[in-house]
Amino acid sequence: MSAWRLLLTRTEQEGQALAQTLASEGIHCACLPLLGIEQLPETPQHGATICDLHRYTAVIVVSKPAARFGLELLDRYWPQPLSDQPWFSVGAGTGQILADYGLTVFWPKNGDDSEALLELPELQEPLKAAMFPRVLIIRGEDGRTLLADSLRAQGVEVDYLPVYRRMLPTYPAGTLQRLIQVERLNGLVVSSGQGLMHLQQLAADDWPTLAQLPLFVPSPRVAEMARELGAVDVVDCRGADTAALLAALRAQASPDS
């Protein structure tokens, strides 16, 4: 049995799946979803954008919810094959959803963030070859603008297709601290910058105490955010998938049980 006892903060479905995998490795987990996902109502823009997919040099999908909701739109408005159009994802989990659908997908092998994606030759080469490069980004209602800003700086036309919004689920005051105490948790796991912000928001006055626990994050950007918020022991997993988390856990000194 591992001495790690982790708080998982992903959406309910993803958190439970991760908890089962970690349990098979002898790692105890408690789940408290900090990212509620709500699909946005469909508008004429959604259908019109999907019907214009052939105009895009590349399509970028930033998350698993974006992939799932985006593929639902694809089923309704673009049922023909898209084998020649390159699609891109920030991480392997999102990329696998798109690949399973039959799309030609690329994603960074070392890092789950926008910075790593922007460096992919498979993305840069078709953009440089196109006379008028154009990219569609399928994402949530809000999010980082780094991808769009960087591509526009290269002369690429960028359109957004928002398909969902994220929110902090409602919990009674003290829920987070009680769960950590009752389950004797000794590590925290967040999968995104927004998840980190929701963790701090839910912790409220207890944040200075929770910030002393080891905090596992998916990327250098989120690691920097965590340190700026006062987290003392930040571990950059260099990826948001299960393999990256397990590798990071194995590389850390075992906590006191």
| Residue 113 Rama label (left phi>0; alpha psi -120 to 50; beta) | beta
State whether 134 and 207 are in the same domain: no
In-domain check, residue 194? yes
In the DSSP assignment, the letter for residue 29 is E
Write down the pLDDT at residue 83.
64
Q: Give the mean model confidence (pLDDT) for residues 247-251.
A: 93
Which CATH number covers residue 231?
A: 3.40.50.10090
State whether 178 and 244 are in the same domain: yes
| Tally of structural domains, the chain | 2
pTM: 0.79
State whether 103 and 222 are in the same domain: no
d(CA 210, CA 27): 20
Least confident interval from 59-73, 81-95, 121-135: 81-95
Res. 191: pLDDT tops 80: yes
The dihedrals phi and psi of 85, each to the nearest 5 degrees, come to: -90, 125
- pLDDT confidence band for 256 (50 / 70 / 90): low
Amino acid at 117: L
In-domain check, residue 217? yes
In the DSSP assignment, the letter for residue 40 is P
In-domain check, residue 80? yes
**Domain stops at, among 147, 166, 185:** 166
Res. 121: pLDDT tops 90: yes
Q: Give me the domain span that covers residue 226.
A: 5-35+171-251
Three-class DSSP category at 53? helix
In-domain check, residue 243? yes
In-domain check, residue 187? yes
Which of residues 153 and 35 earns the better pLDDT score? 153
In-domain check, residue 256? no
**Domain stops at, among 144, 166, 188:** 166
**Domain stops at, among 119, 143, 166:** 166
The string of DSSP letters for 222-245 reads HHHHHHHTT-SEEEE-SSSSHHHH
**Edge-to-edge strand list for the sheet holding 214-217:** 28-31, 5-8, 187-189, 214-217, 233-236
Write down the pLDDT at residue 257.
47
In-domain check, residue 157? yes
Res. 62: pLDDT tops 50: yes
State whether 53 and 108 are in the same domain: yes
Q: Tell me how far CA of residue 22 lies from CA of 10, 113, 146, 210, in angstroms.
A: 14, 23, 32, 22
Q: Give the mean model confidence (pLDDT) for residues 145-168.
A: 94
